[in-house]
Amino acid sequence: MTYQRQFLSRNNFILAFERIVRGGNKEYKQFYRHLYPSYNLSLQENLDDLIHDIKSGTYKPSKPTIVFQPKKTLILRPLAILSLTDLIVYQAITNHIANKFESEQTKYAFSKSFGAIYAGKHSPFFYRSWKVCYSAYNKAIERAFNTGNTFVADFDLVSFYELIDHNLLKEKLVEKIKNVEFLNLLFECLERWTSDAAGSHIHHGIPQGPEPSAFLAECFLFHFDAKHFKDVKYFRYVDDIKLMAKSDIPLRRALLHLDLSSKELGLVPQAQKIELRETTCLEEVLKNIPSSLVLHIEENIGNKLSQHKLLNMLRKSIKRLNKQMVIDDVTKFKYSLVRLDPRKDVLKKITPLLAHRPDLSGIFASYLKKFPNNKLAADILLETLRTDPIYDAAATNYIDAMDICEPNNNQYPYRRVIQTANRRSVEKSILIKIASQVYKGRRVGAKDAAKIIEKEEHPIVCSILIHRLFGDSGSAPYKIGHIKTLIQQKSYEKDANLARYCASLLFLNFSWNELKGWKPGSKTHQSVKLLMFGLGLRARMPKKTTVLDTFFKDRMKIGISISWRKALGKD
């Protein structure tokens, strides 16, 4: 297959791996962070092997594992957990696309668009700092407001990532990228990563979670940025668009054009979020923070405040509406809560919010963890976990908090609610399984914790359980020596990440004399062989699967190991 040299260069794939490791998507990286060191031990060999597979056509993307994050609206946002290999390929592909489209983005960066700004071909980070981008976004809005643009309209799109049409996206990309094989590879991956439950391709959507997706979304939205709206100031942060003008008529005209443009792209405007209003103060304009920033913006409010001022800020950010406590200013609420010292009055104030704002469960859990072995905090978590429905992502955060808050006596009700969490789950995702099994494993002793891991079939769950219970997580309660035999067995698994991770634990924690019962052989996974070669424990690179091997095994269903190249000769 013919690809551009810039795409398939080893330097591009090394940069792809580095950008994944340095990425700012912290919640997404929790599924990979423990895998980075084992991949990095033989980085050059792993990447050369991957590049060879792409060149030869034997690389095939894997189906992702889907987990969900609740939004404020209680609708679920799907996150696609790709294999580490797929994630590297995706980043390497998008590195090349970003280099081609950098000049296009530069036309609008920091004047019209402010999110997912490419950091440049030589940067170890894929995007410019969100703090720099958000500061520029704020200043642009402030300048517009101070020059009399007090009429404001917000334009938002429904399920934007999920509705991006692959054919329309290809039309946008082909303007700068002419290599057919390269684009075919990208869309083969996208089709695989966005297929439905039955495995059928749905021809739309890009995976949420990986950083590269945000730049593909940018390529799609340059269509909006290129438009000129008379007498209207236009500011976009990913799919959140803010329009400002000196009167309402230009705004109505601009909203109409945006509505028509979105329909051209097969996108759906979110009617509930589109509003036109006249504002009297700048703070009111800045209050609607783009959804892509709401997880980070609490870090950027200002200098460190006293506990008294933080408490006042928290109280002012909450109000009562229809006899129910609601968060009026989520930015100030989060900023103050994460910085407040543990206080019972604050704990009681946030209690009614835990079940109603699952999208903020990480912030609530972080504060509750400040109350170790505390019955009040544990009881609050207990009642929240009994709520139906409780989203898996929220339950996961609250179980992790319960691990710290659980009192030293009368522990049955707390352990019981977590024991039944998997059965009561609607989503049945790996999130709740990881949290509940780690919680249980930390309380049953090393021997029984090992049995939990031994029974686990999902490779992502298995590797994370090993990491959090026995690995190098820092808080692992047990020593790796307790499961030496188990990780020897797991190093033979078919999943590349799990096999490599377990093998790396063996090599880094035990001498060869201590590994007498473990002999890598013909059934050893390719990833482990590459690791051994990279560490100097193997003299030769492992033999590669050829295109012919793949054809006869996968297409012709011939499972016998035969040297097809030799058997066919010149035919």
Domain end marker among 395, 411, 443? 443
**Widest Cα–Cα separation across the chain:** 82
For residue 109, being part of any structural domain is answered with yes
Give the residue from 408, 443, 478 where a domain finishes: 443
Q: Are residues 412 and 340 in the same domain?
A: yes
- Listed in order, strand segments (DSSP E) in 26-93 are 65-70, 76-81
Please count the CA atoms within 13 angstroms of the CA of 196 that sit on its side-chain side. Answer: 6
Is 50 a domain residue? yes
Whether residue 246 sits in one domain with residue 366: no
Q: Is residue 201 part of a domain?
A: yes
Contact 267, 259 (CB under 8 A): no
150 and 1 assigned to the same domain: yes
Please indicate, yes or no, if residue 454 is contained in any of the structural domains: no
The whole-number pLDDT of residue 422 equals: 87
User: What pLDDT, on the 0 to 100 scale, is given for residue 197?
Assistant: 62
Report the sign of the C-alpha dihedral through residues 99, 103, 104, 107, in that order.
positive
Within 13 A of 166's CA, how many CA atoms are on the CB side?
Answer: 20
Q: Are residues 213 and 332 in the same domain?
A: no
Residue 200 lies in a domain: yes
- Is 205 in contact with 84 (CB distance < 8 Å)? no
Q: Are 467 and 434 in contact (CB under 8 A)?
A: no
Any domain includes 451? no
Whether 316 and 222 map to the same domain: the answer is: no
Task: Give the separation between CA 313 and CA 307, rounded to whole angstroms.
Answer: 10
In whole angstroms, how far apart are CA 476 and each of 330, 436, 439, 443? 34, 15, 11, 12
Give the phi and the psi of residue 236 in degrees, each rounded to 5: -125, 135
First to last CA, the chain: 20
Q: 537 lies in a domain?
A: no
Same domain, 320 and 193: no
pLDDT tens for the chain, residues 1 to 571: 688 889 999 999 999 999 999 998 988 999 999 999 999 999 999 999 999 999 999 999 999 999 999 988 888 899 999 999 999 999 999 999 999 999 999 999 999 999 899 999 999 999 999 889 988 999 999 999 999 999 999 998 888 899 999 999 999 999 999 999 999 999 999 999 997 665 666 788 999 999 999 999 999 899 999 999 999 999 999 888 999 999 999 999 999 999 999 988 888 888 777 778 898 888 878 765 554 554 454 444 444 679 999 999 999 999 888 878 899 888 889 989 999 999 999 999 999 999 889 999 999 999 999 999 999 999 999 999 998 778 999 999 999 999 999 999 999 999 999 999 988 999 999 999 999 999 999 999 999 999 999 999 999 999 999 999 998 767 899 999 999 999 999 999 999 999 999 999 999 999 888 887 777 777 789 999 999 999 988 878 777 665 555 666 666 666 666 665 666 766 6
Considering the domain architecture, whether residues 350 and 232 belong to the same structural domain is answered as no
* Whether residue 265 sits in one domain with residue 219: yes
Q: Is residue 547 domain-resident?
A: no
What residues contact 195, with CB distance under 8 A and at least 6 apart? 63, 201, 202
Total structural domains within the chain: 2
- Cα gap 527→41, rounded to integer Å: 11
- Residue-number span of the structural domain to which 105 is assigned: 1-284
Half-sphere exposure of 278 (CA within 13 A, CB side): 5
- Read out DSSP for 382-450? HHHHTSSS--HHHHHHHHHHHHHH--SS--HHHHHHHHTHHHH-SS--HHHHHHHHHHHHHHH-HHHHH
The model's pTM is 0.90
Q: Are residues 57 and 172 in the same domain?
A: yes
Domain termination site, one of 375, 408, 443? 443
Mention every residue, 6+ apart, whose C-beta is less than 8 A from residue 401.
Answer: 364, 365, 366, 368, 369, 377, 381
Tell me, yes or no, whether 277 and 321 share the same domain. Answer: no
* Residue 327, SS3 per DSSP: strand
| Same domain, yes or no: 366 and 237 | no
Quick one: pLDDT at residue 292? 52
Same structural domain, 317 and 273: no
